[in-house]
Amino acid sequence: MMHTILNTIISIAVSGALGYCVSSIKNYKKQRDKILDEFKQIKENELLDMKSDLSNKFYVYDALPEVEDYLVISFQEKCQRYFDLGGNTYIHQLYEKSFEWRVKQTGYLR
């Protein structure tokens, strides 16, 4: 009799613990998926902002007779960051054309 009661109690406890674990895992997966979706959206927004900024800067700098060296380096580094984040648009073409700019040495860079 005592053996049956202990087996019943253990079965109930194990079932409850497993149910709790499964529920916790499902909640964890939901939270993880939500965070990953938010991260993806943030990354996409950052890429769009960077693309717009790089495009604007390119056409302003490209119209200048000379571009100061620190501006060229900043533009090219931002392009690299854009590529590292997975950006893959015409920014590659703008990046390549930035090497054709006539660069004015300012002395700010050492």
**pTM for this one?**
0.69
The whole-number pLDDT of residue 21 equals: 82
The whole-number pLDDT of residue 20 equals: 82
Alpha-carbon gap, residue 63 to 77, rounded angstroms: 20
pLDDT at residue 109 is higher than 70? no
Q: How does pLDDT run across 84-108, given as a tens digit for each residue?
A: 988 888 899 999 999 999 999 988 7
The whole-number pLDDT of residue 89 equals: 80
Q: How does pLDDT run across 20-37, given as a tens digit for each residue?
A: 888 888 888 889 888 989
User: What dihedral angle (degrees, nearest 10) is formed by the CA atoms of 68, 69, 75, 78?
Assistant: -150
Return the number of other C-beta atoms located less than 10 Å from residue 67's C-beta: 19
| Alpha carbon distance, N-terminus to C-terminus of the chain | 87
